[in-house]
């Protein structure tokens, strides 16, 4: 195990599923009080609020749920039930301790999600469509588990959006698979952030499954 505390820089450089499991196993215990508190992380709040403002309802799947920050905001806004899915057992363990999720589903999203088709009326994701993590090819697995009319609120790191061709992927999906697509740029961190990424932004993609 590395002696260095994992950080965003290391997370952005991840390549394989094994890299993800290893880094997040080390990061899980410190993620909320270390990274999220120190960097005044706000993306989970923007994502959850956007979902609720768009009329999103449960059952909801929180994709790349991590330690459950987005789910906690959703639950506080009265949304439920919420399931958490993530590649990292250790992050999911932390999430389940918060007592907000109905179920934890360990899965590599690039390989699909082991739940029946059309299980969810809502899908949220904060901080997982980002550098070194998930690209647009993961979106089809989310459509499969969403019901007709399901509301999506997905944060996508703005630089990652440009680099990985999310615009094209969403445009294709808008030809019959999704509707009412909107993109709103939000800051990932608050005023207290001090790290090199403090001014980074994300796009919140809101849309509905047709
Ligand atoms: C930066 S964290 C975000 C966690 C949480 N949503 C938040 O906003 O704090 C990214 C999460 O994505 C998960 N992840 C990375 N690659 C994944 C994959 N291929 N499938 C599912 N989850 C993945 C990681 O384990 C980690 O918990």
Each residue of 7-20: pLDDT tens digit?
A: 888 888 878 888 88
Per-residue pLDDT, 2:
44
Does 48 have pLDDT greater than 90?
yes
Mean pLDDT of the chain: 94
Per-residue pLDDT, averaged over 141-146, amounts to 98
Per-residue pLDDT reduced to its tens digit, 54-112: 999 999 999 999 999 999 999 999 999 999 999 999 999 999 999 999 999 999 999 99
Q: Is the pLDDT of residue 134 over 50?
A: yes
Q: Where are the domains of the chain?
A: 40-209
Select from 66, 71, 139, 188 the residue to mutate for testing ligand 1; criterion: most ligand atoms less than 8 Å from CB.
66
pLDDT at site 4: 62
Tell how far the Cα of 2 is from the centroid of ligand 1, in angstroms.
20
When pLDDT is averaged across residues 35-45 and rounded to a whole number, the result is: 96
Give the integer Cα–Cα distance in Å for 10 and 14.
7
Spatial neighbors of 106 by CB under 8 A, at least 6 apart, are 85, 86, 87, 88, 89, 92
8 A C-beta contact, residue 168 and residue 194: no
Ligand 1 mean position, distance from CA 193 (Å):
21
Give the atom of ligand 1 at the shortest distance from the alpha carbon of 109.
20
CATH node for 40-209: 3.40.50.150
Q: pTM for this structure?
A: 0.96
CB 145 within 8 A of CB 113: yes
Statement: residue 3 has pLDDT above 50: no
């Amino acid at each position: 195990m590395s002696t260095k505390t994992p950080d965003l820089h290391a997370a952005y450089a991840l390549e394989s599923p094994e890299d993800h499991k290893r880094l997040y196993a080390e990061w899980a215990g410190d993620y909320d009080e270390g990274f999220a508190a120190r960097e005044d992380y706000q993306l989970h709040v923007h994502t959850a609020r956007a979902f609720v403002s768009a009329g999103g309802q449960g059952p909801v799947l929180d994709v790349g749920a991590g330690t459950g920050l987005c789910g906690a905001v959703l639950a506080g806004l009265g949304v439920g039930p919420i399931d958490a899915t993530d590649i990292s057992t250790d992050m999911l363990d932390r999430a389940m301790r918060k007592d907000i999720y109905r179920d934890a589903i360990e899965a590599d999203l690039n390989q699909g999600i082991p739940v029946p088709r059309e299980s969810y009326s809502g899908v949220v994701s904060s901080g997982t469509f980002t550098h070194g993590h998930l690209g647009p090819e993961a979106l089809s697995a989310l459509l499969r588990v969403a019901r007709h009319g399901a509301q999506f609120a997905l944060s996508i790191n703005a630089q990652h959006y440009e680099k990985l061709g999310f615009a094209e992927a969403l445009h294709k999906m808008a030809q019959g698979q999704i509707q009412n697509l909107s993109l709103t740029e939000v800051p990932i961190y608050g005023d207290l952030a001090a790290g090199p990424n403090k001014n980074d932004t994300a796009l919140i993609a809101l849309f509905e499954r047709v």
